[in-house]
Amino acid sequence: MGSVKDLEVLREPTPERMGLGRFHFSDRYSVFDWGEMPDHIPLKGAAITIMSAHFFERLQDEGIRTHYRGVVEDNTCKRLSEVRELPSVMEIDLVRVLKPVERGGVYDYSPYRTERGNFLIPLEVIYRNSLPAGSSVFKRIEKGEITSADLGIDGEAVPGMSLPVPFLDVSTKLEITDRYLSWEEAEKIAGLNREELEKIREYTLRINGIITAEFTAMGLRNEDGKFEFGFSPERELLVLDVLGTLDECRFTYEGMPVSKEIARIYYRKTPWFREVEEAKKRDRMNWKSLVSRGPDPLPPRLRELISQLYISSANALTGRQWVKGIPPLRTILEEIREYIK
């Protein structure tokens, strides 16, 4: 069970053979690495299923191998175009997850140097097309961890700026709190060779281009997003997990966030968020135990608007009215603006 989706294992993976599983997408959501938040967002699970299935099928049509097998209806695996009702279950091939062992705040990634294949690469790969307000890039610039020149910018980086070319970032995936890495560090801890690393970067740019084109046609701007990768038993690169959704990407419409960034913006104004930030500064490994309070629920109307936002985006992306009577994105976002301005 995860913070937003549950994994049903139908067949365990082995070093020689992929397993079989199903993602059950829930209406839960998570922000700031907290885990499950107090609210559920109605229709969110179905919307995430639809959007991710749509892009997995696009990638497979483009010749990019993924772990996606289809969405499930009547206990049968189907393509998205074949289902009649709102899907919320996706069938996938399973690879192994080799968790690095933590000792005194240091993680041991040595198994990745000897394993041949059929495992999750322990990295999260991020693309950045622009620098929206709230991007983690600005904190990293303040700390001296990254510079405007690294981003390909002449002069100062400012919120809302488009980057001349997409900037690719990489972070850990299986540590208690994700941390950014250099590409040299990423190559080393994941046991990759240079050709494999470059293929990950190539796939990231290609998939970013596909997602950007589709959301641009909807009138949305693809600001940034993340992907996960793994190896098949034959060590062929696979695209894993979920992609192209309002949780994995950050989209905007005329400057308005069209993602769970809406919830992040709302919670950044709360005492709970300030306590979370302070706790992470004090103890990167065990910060959650230092937070004395949990987050309060969202205002009911804001929760309803975020729900409409998810399913309206799925409707627009696929050109299919999965739920009728949902307002267009512009109408929803104009009302949301009042909660986060």
pLDDT in tens, 75-124: 999 999 999 999 999 999 999 999 999 988 899 999 999 999 999 999 99
Which range marks the domain in which residue 135 is found? 5-340
Distances 243 to 32, 111, 212, 239, 265 between C-alpha atoms, Å:
19, 27, 12, 9, 22
What pTM does this model have? 0.90
Region at 9 (left for phi over 0; alpha for psi -120 to 50; beta for the rest): beta
Kindly report the average pLDDT of the chain as a whole number: 94
pLDDT at 263 over 70: yes
* Confidence tier at 287 by pLDDT (50, 70, 90): very high
Tens digit of each residue's pLDDT (9 = 90 or more) over 219-248: 999 999 999 999 999 999 999 999 999 989
Higher pLDDT, 191 or 247: 191
Our count of domains for the chain comes to 1
Q: Which residues contact 79 (CB under 8 A, 6 or more apart)?
A: 57, 70, 71
pLDDT at 2 over 70: no
The pLDDT value given to residue 1:
57
What CATH number does residue 194 fall under?
Answer: 3.30.470.20
The pLDDT value given to residue 133:
82
* Confidence tier at 332 by pLDDT (50, 70, 90): very high
